[in-house]
Amino acid sequence: MCGLALALLGLSSYPSTMNDLIALPFGAPRGNPMRDVAALISGQTLLQVAGGLLTVWLPLQMQSLHFSGSQIGFVASAYGLGFLAGAWFAPNILRHVGAIRTYAAAASLACVTTLLLYASDATWAWALSRLVAGMAIAIMFAAAEGWMASVIPKARRGDVTGFYMLCTKLGLVSGPFLIGFAHPEPNSAGPIMAAAAFLALSLIPISIADTTPPPQTTSLRMVPARLFALAPAAFVAALGSGLVNGTVLSLAPLYASERGGAQAAASFQAAAWVGSLIVQWHAGKLSDHIDRRIVLALLIGIPAVMAIILAGFGNTLSLGLNTILFGIWGAGALSYYGIAVAHLGDRTPRTELGAASAGLLFVWAGGTIIGPAIGGILVEFTGHALSIFWQAGVVSALMVPWVLWRAARRPEVAQKDKVGFSPVQTFSVLGQILGLGKKPDDVEEALPDK
């Protein structure tokens, strides 16, 4: 994986002989910062393989342990709360400890808390483990992506960010399929050991990257009221993305496994990410030329329709057709957050871009805390996991007229003032900054030149 990243980034300047390597002073910069970027991308891809595996395995394992729907939702919400806390405290930790040591400590904590899931079948223990794991993984992303942001040359920020998003999404897609190679029987230790192994492996590329520490980070935050005043449509889209996607991605494996077992759940989840991989870039480029809120409304409307179809007719349709519909759902639902980030960037003063991007991530995280808890209660009340799509469909359907109303109430910014779209994922700290576009002066405020 490291070799693939190196090849695609055009990194051919490693020392050619052992003597050249020995000649480098210990801890000295090695000339080409893109080597660090390749290592960091490789590490984050391995981290996302573990994340993709756990996203499918965790609800299936909790179901096999006879957790109720509300208990499964509670555990998923605990992870969202931990992620929010980790993202909040990460800047101060990085400033005082440094990126490499912070990442190593957080990776160790993520591995341990993941393995501890196998030691208990108590809901509170699972919730606590996932809370701490969410904090650790948010800090891992902040450490690696903050470092990456500090070393990417300005001329290559767009293509490197796109490549990074591609690699991490491929990690998310591939992770669930490892369940089949790790004995998916109920209460098997194989999948959880595989996830912990990938969490540990993600530390290796980070550890062998350039030992020159990245610049100190600064802590930038924006209160929700200010975010809402700047871009109401972006605020609602980010909150809705957390409410809907946090619920569906946490609980949809339960429905798919009811229809076809663990491998069906893996394929079902992967279809959503593949759909977003196909659509996100094209939708973003379209939003560069027309009102972004129109594109937002379209991308939110697609999952609204798909969710209602799945909720109403999923049980009467084949598993294959369900998977296709879920892929179309993902094409919209997992793509519109990036449009919301770009829309916020269009309307935010350059001095507030960093704070606005971080604030929007916190709004999304707030939705991931609330959404799964509600979805879990719905699953328990109705007795089947298909009910999560009613929640997703209703929330999405309510957002569409709101976004269109905002488009009618407030004119789009002038074309010359628009930021350029970059693909953004909700877990990405780097994407929150780079996704705000290509206004040279604005980016200068957020990232150092290279």
pTM assigned to the model:
0.82
**Predicted local confidence at residue 279, as pLDDT:** 86
Number of domains in the chain: 1
Q: What share of the chain is helix, strand, coil (3-state, %, to 5)?
A: 80, 0, 20
Distance CA 256, CA 265 (A): 5
Residue 408 lies in a domain: yes
**Rounded CA gap, 301 and 165, in Å?**
24
Q: Within a domain: residue 216? A: no
pLDDT exceeds cutoff 60 at 26: no
Reduced 3-state DSSP string for 296-339: HHHHHHHHHHHHHHHHHHHHHCCHHHHHHHHHHHHHHHCCHHHH
pLDDT (average), residues 235-256: 91
Q: Are 69 and 379 in contact (CB under 8 A)?
A: yes
Question: Helices H, strands E: what count in the chain?
Answer: 18, 0
Domain assignment present for 105: yes
pLDDT at 13 over 80: no
Q: Which of 57-66, 215-224, 429-438 has the lowest mean pLDDT?
A: 429-438
Name the residue among 161, 157, 230, 202 with its Cα closest to residue 53.
Answer: 202
Q: pLDDT tens digits, residue range 199-213? A: 999 999 888 876 555
Q: Is 27 a domain residue? A: no
In a domain, 449, yes or no: no
Cα–Cα distance for residue pair 395/216, rounded to 1 Å: 40
Window from 65-74, 163-172, 378-387, 430-439 with minimum mean pLDDT = 430-439
Q: Is residue 214 part of a domain?
A: no
Q: According to the model, what pLDDT value does residue 219 have? A: 55
The Cα 375–Cα 371 span in angstroms is 6
Mean pLDDT of 34-40: 82
Question: Any alpha helices (H) in 98-156, and if so which ranges?
Answer: 99-116, 123-151
Q: What is the pLDDT of residue 210?
A: 66
* Distance from C-alpha of 265 to C-alpha of 258, rounded to nearest angstrom: 9
In a domain, 147, yes or no: yes
The CATH number linked to 199 is 1.20.1250.20
- Give the whole-angstrom CA distance, residue 355 versus residue 349: 11
**pLDDT score, position 358:** 75
Give me the half-sphere count of Cα atoms (radius 13 Å) on the Cβ side of residue 188.
Answer: 15
- Which percentage of the chain shows pLDDT scores above 70? 77
Structure confidence at residue 419 (pLDDT): 57
**Higher per-residue confidence, 275 vs 157:** 275
According to DSSP, residue 387 is labeled G
Q: What is the distance of C-alpha 316 from the center of its chain?
A: 32
Query: Which has more pLDDT, 304 or 176?
Result: 304
The mean of the pLDDT values for the chain is: 80
Rounded mean pLDDT, 69-76: 93
Domain that holds residue 199: 33-209+223-444
Lowest mean pLDDT among 78-92, 117-131, 146-160, 310-324: 146-160
Predicted pLDDT of residue 181: 60
- pLDDT value of residue 302: 94
Answer whether 52's CB lies under 8 Å from 39's CB: no
The answer to whether residue 361 scores a pLDDT higher than 90 is: no
Residue 217 lies in a domain: no
| CA-wise closest residue to 333 among 400, 387, 267, 404 | 400
Q: What are phi and psi of 261, to 5 degrees?
A: 85, -170
Average pLDDT rounded to a whole number, residues 214-222: 56
pLDDT at 66 over 80: yes
Q: What is the pLDDT of residue 7?
A: 45
pLDDT tens-digit readout, 98-107? 888 889 999 9
**9 pLDDT more than 60:** no
Tell the residue number behind the tokens 């393989």, with chain if given.
Answer: 49
Q: Which residue has the higher pLDDT, 27 or 184?
A: 184
CA distance 435 to 83: 20
Give the Cα separation of 333 and 317 in Å (integer): 21
- Of the candidates 77, 87, 99, the one whose C-alpha atom is nearest the C-alpha of residue 139 is 87
pLDDT value of residue 46: 94
Query: Which residues are within 8 A (CB) of 112 and not within 5 positions of it... i.e. 6 or more apart?
Result: none
